[in-house]
Amino acid sequence: MYREQTLKKFNPALDNILYILHDLQDNNPEHYLAKEDIRACADYLEVPYSYVHSVASFYTMFSLKPRGRYIIRLCDSPPCHLMGSQSLLDYLKKSLDVKVGETTKDKMFTLELTSCLGACGVAPAMMINEEMFGNLTPAAVDAILEKRRKEL
């Protein structure tokens, strides 16, 4: 259902492939690009499935496996490393009981790493979905995650 509505928003031009994939991923209830999403995009743009799949595989912002409601993207670039992102990563892995790329059992959180988020001035930084957070500490991370849990 969301696929048709997503595709209708864009002209069927190859220049729109990233916009279309973004929108499909955002609207997929499991926040990833399912085979059906890739197929729908390929059919709409009249290009081979393999072409769309290679684009979706190339960019780290796309996921080809189901993810949680909230996608945590912890910055993994040197300025954030210097400010303690590695210990935050260890903390997140332990408190969520996941490895990088995995989703919590309750399907709430997926933990990912990303390169610089452009927020080096408030390192260490992370994003949760579209929201940016900086000056992170384990206590701040706990408060942020707890707020998300209570939003349900």
Token duo for residue 79: 């300025």
Q: Binder to ligand FES among 34, 120, 140, 144 (CB under 6 A)?
A: 120
Count CB atoms within 10 A of the CB of residue 37.
24
47 in contact with ligand FES (CB under 6 A): no
Nearer to ligand FES, 34 or 116 (CB): 116
123 in contact with ligand FES (CB under 6 A): yes
Give the strand pairing for 70-75 and 109-114: parallel
Q: Binder to ligand FES among 125, 128, 136, 141 (CB under 6 A)?
A: 125
Rounded-to-integer distance, Cα 64 and Cα 141, Å? 27
141 in contact with ligand FES (CB under 6 A): no
Q: Binder to ligand FES among 22, 66, 79, 138 (CB under 6 A)?
A: 79
Give me the helices (H) in 9-114, please: 17-27, 35-45, 49-58, 78-82, 85-96
Nearer to ligand FES, 21 or 117 (CB): 117
